[in-house]
Structure 1
């Protein structure tokens, strides 16, 4: 569809997007470990089953063998988001997180952004489990969390110019609302038309709804919505007039007449 490349949106409240960088680094590290182990290895299969979100397990319809239980069931609402199937799956999520995550972190602050990220990931898993409650296939990937970031960016910065690569080859500078709103609407369309596909569109939609709602409460006080400019009136300073120096004119001084 499109690939975001860059946005002309400078940081205003933080100096460095530490959380965004750390999340990207952690996702890449986890993928590298699983990639080195081999896609078909027992280690990777155990990681996917033990850390992935499995609706039938969370809904107590099925059970994992005790040897595959790596974390409590409820923790998989978050742990699944750090696993990716291949480099394309990882790369597509990380480029969105790289381009849009820093400004959402800037608008919320480091801690609230981290909570926001995990909440959107959990909302994505919840929506996936709601639509497919008896599925035994593990859900993996950061798409739910990233979808929440996209929705938050659309609410905060729809007018910011974003460079996107359309159809994989055409770079275009567009107002953010054009590609992002199209992307959001596409997710809702696909969740209805492609329920049985390999992509969990429901997880995307869950993340989008959570992101659009939570940004209203997680943003800093004074951060406007929809790129509205807050004009702060300049303070009016009343200065006490300085006394005017006067000189005494001697009586003998002749007047100066002007023509």
Structure 2
């Protein structure tokens, strides 16, 4: 036996329609459970055992949903907030009712790869300090990034509060004609404003920051900021890679 769930909620969660739309469709006799027409959305079913048909087509229930979001600036990595738009506010049906939450966080002005899921075990596996899942960022710095900076990151930067960061990687350094510099940063932890504070300890300023990879999973280049898509099973495995 699996988890029992209301029939109208199950159908809505699978993207067939809103809860209200499902109640109407149920009353019209368009849904059957184990061969019997069910007209009440309050009926509870076991999606792992019961055969549920909508207009004669089997409904396959997925307990866990994991999305890749290209987070835009100005949106916070939270499930609710009274002052700001959250990443969940970017979602449409059927995902708004799936109890999704962000795996980790990106600062309000940081853009790029953010994972949304309702799978707590997956979130723990990606975020656990014991797992050492790397996160790669593209940063624009207000001045040249030097070989001395690379060594400092590899040695472990000390933040303004005295915290000693784990060794990090700076690579793909690209000086720009305007005096700024693009560089990629790989971290194995996720402290508050960490990339910005690490550069500030070297008296340098982060102008732009974008997360482009978590584990072995790279941000989909076809996703515009604010867009999202469902992760395939193999991509979820890439996400866990060290």
Q: TM-score normalised to the size of structure 1?
A: 0.21
Greater RCO (CA < 8 Å, at least 6 residues apart) = 1
**Bigger Rg over Cα:** 1
